[in-house]
């Protein structure tokens, strides 16, 4: 696993890296020398950039890098400050990847990785790229181009260039906090936002409609295709049945049209 920048800029959370450290089938391996931070990273951590997540990531990685491999069936090797510059093929297949060493430049808030024209080659039979996530702006709502998120305070969307909440508008998930956390992170994240909605409703700070109507009724009028919980249960069973013939736990449907067709049968 290759990262363009250093361990202090890694996007994963503390629980995610701990899970990698505890993999039952693979040893997580790093070179302790690559855990030595450059001056920009040191200054960033000292200034609190990245919060406790960045500091915790570095501490966890440093501790893990000192451990000897436990002899698990596989190895997961983390490398930092490297960028792929060329895929090398053989017989029509990828055989290796050429990597350039990087250094960090710029400010501590968003340091950039630039190549230093030092290269190494790594054998590889398969290459995945992780290009990150960036949210999409919505008409009428503020948008942070740099972070790819909707500006908010605890889920309440705020007015552009201000901390004043926009009544009746809320964010949750990656649109709220950016691409971070594990699946379980979304539960407390959504609870926080819902609590803001309840509080605003109780204090009449929402853009309440002039009349209260059932959501299902409104969607039916607008001819919106609704998937109910019984529909989901039907889809769940269909995937399990599909998997049995292949000797798997389930065989998922990968397109929305196929999912809708399955629950319509």
User: pLDDT, tens digit, for every residue of 64-101?
Assistant: 999 999 999 999 999 999 999 999 999 989 999 999 99
CA distance 136 to 175: 8
Confidence of residue 205 (pLDDT cuts 50, 70, 90): confident
Q: Is the pLDDT reported for residue 123 higher than 60? A: yes
Chain CA centroid to CA 111, Å: 20
The pLDDT value given to residue 163: 79
- Mean pLDDT across the chain, nearest whole number? 89
Find the mean pLDDT for residues 215-221: 87
The pLDDT value given to residue 214: 82
Say whether both 86 and 190 belong to one domain: no
Say whether both 166 and 260 belong to one domain: no
Find the mean pLDDT for residues 190-208: 86
Say whether both 102 and 142 belong to one domain: no
Say whether both 228 and 197 belong to one domain: no
Which residues form the domain of 38? 7-123
Say whether both 169 and 241 belong to one domain: no
Residue at 1 is within a domain: no
Residue at 195 is within a domain: yes
Confidence of residue 241 (pLDDT cuts 50, 70, 90): very high
Query: How many domains would you assign to the chain?
Result: 3
In DSSP terms, 121 is beta-bridged to 98
Confidence of residue 210 (pLDDT cuts 50, 70, 90): low
Residue at 155 is within a domain: yes
Residue at 44 is within a domain: yes
**Dihedrals φ, ψ of 235, to 5°?**
-65, -40
Q: Is the pLDDT reported for residue 259 higher than 60? A: yes
Find the mean pLDDT for residues 10-15: 86
Tally of CB atoms within 10 A around 180: 14
- pTM to 2 decimals? 0.57
Q: Tokens for 123, please give them.
A: 């054998």
Chosen domain end from 123, 157, 182: 123
């Amino acid at each position: 696993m290759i990262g363009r920048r250093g361990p202090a800029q890694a996007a994963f959370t503390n629980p995610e890296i701990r899970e990698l450290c505890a993999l039952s089938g693979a040893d997580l391996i790093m070179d302790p020398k690559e855990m030595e931070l450059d001056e920009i990273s040191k200054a960033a951590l000292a200034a609190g950039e990245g919060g406790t997540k960045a500091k915790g990531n570095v501490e966890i990685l440093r501790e893990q890098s000192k451990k000897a491999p436990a002899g698990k069936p596989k190895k997961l090797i983390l490398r930092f400050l490297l960028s792929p510059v060329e895929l090398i093929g053989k017989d029509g297949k990828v055989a290796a990847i050429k990597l350039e060493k990087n250094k960090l430049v710029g400010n501590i808030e968003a340091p950039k990785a630039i190549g230093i024209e030092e290269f190494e080659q790594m054998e590889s039979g398969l290459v995945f790229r992780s290009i990150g996530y960036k949210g999409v702006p919505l008409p009428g709502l503020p948008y942070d181009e740099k972070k790819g998120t909707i500006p908010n305070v605890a889920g309440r969307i705020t007015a552009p260039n201000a901390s004043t909440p926009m009544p009746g508008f809320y964010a949750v998930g990656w649109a709220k906090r950016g691409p971070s956390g594990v699946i379980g992170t979304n539960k407390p994240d959504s609870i926080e936002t819902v609590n803001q909605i309840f509080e605003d409703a109780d204090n009449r700070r929402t853009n309440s409609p002039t009349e209260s109507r059932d959501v299902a009724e409104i969607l039916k009028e607008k001819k919106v295709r609704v998937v109910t919980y019984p529909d989901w249960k039907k889809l769940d069973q269909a995937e399990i049945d599909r998997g049995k013939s292949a000797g798997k736990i389930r065989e998922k449907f990968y397109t929305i049209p196929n999912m809708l067709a399955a629950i319509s049968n």
